[in-house]
Structure 1
């Protein structure tokens, strides 16, 4: 999956050659870049629902974004003069510093390393295991579907694989009042009930 990068730089002359290089190199499959040269457009995008993997930009753009307090995404400031001797590791408080004018492969590798910070945070959850989240309520019209859909969207925005299953229209009383033929457990039993309910519904329509 390509890393989603937000690039915020005043000079469009800086953005265009960089995007051209990405699209015509091996980095085209690694990076998906949303670039902005206007502060207002950048801020509007960052206030939206899409969550990027990293934000890289001029100091003025990054500072304006950090003031909003939505800085849970790895970020880096592009250094015009390339002087990071005051920060030997190229790091700032909460972020990184990247030399703005350098060989494009080196620049893009630095951005990819920035994305690795987010991946390392997510690596604590074993990929072999599936996390199951359920949204239930004893009463109807309580916002279960809206909540579940928004959760799925947010988790998907974090790069996680999400499967959303809505059982609201399924009559689950059969799971407690009757048993299917045989001793089918777990998922097999649920699929049996879904199929049986669908068959009964079709039969009623035909009788009408």
Structure 2
């Protein structure tokens, strides 16, 4: 649960906003206040809030707190006019609800993208597992598709030694990745860029670009950690993408570890199966101290969840960071569209993208007034003033 504390002196506004946020983001725990004394008491008794959304009238009280320094970087001003936040990040008070929610989500989750961008270019999200058969490709494809639908420019990078995505996308240039890796190593930068432009493919149903699947596993099996760095660096430096989704082969080699360390988010998939959990536990212990698990960038996600765990959870955290339902139809699925036809699975992926910091980038044009979930705060603002 992500914790948001909001404080605004207008009780009608506070009630309307908190109700809309709870309905729109059930994974957020929201506390709303209209008086300074109640706000300060709550912050003393319940530390650890991810974000404080404060009307400008509450800022002096917060800054006077003895431990105000601990809140630095977590305060966003709810501003009635530009500049009312006194230098803090601002969210306009009177605007359509959905647009306000998008801005709040950016502040709540922005660190996930910034960590990747700070590394130089598009952030990398890697879907990984210690054991085969956990559903990595199904999840990676759905993440790429739904991120594309949210307005992100996505590259889907399949790194499996035995890559069967030619069943989904069709056959093409089977040695495309080998050619690109060779170009990155031996040719001037402009020639390598030309090769990348020639080899990438676009798939409208996926909402992403990709490389053709190889016929043989040799190019993936021979890949080194240095070659992987060059490949990810080229995709990031290209400037064409907002997100790279890597579909990684199961394994514990040097390039696997390098891939996970290059990632802004690692989605480590497991199943409620004794063998799957045990393999993940052993690999997590083997890589202890080599992965930024304590930084929160590794999320253990349980796939094919049946409603209650039968095995003991011994991986980092009190339990899985997310669960995905079992979709039996995929066993006989060959076409691409079928992989996106499960509402339950798509809904679970949507929730994970929200939690990991990739919200919808675009909001529809909304009316200035009216009821329903897309109502604006404009009318409330006029009454308040």
Give the structure-2-normalised TM-score: 0.29
The structure whose Rg is larger is: 1
Higher RCO (C-alpha 8 Å, min separation 6): 2
Give the structure-1-normalised TM-score: 0.50
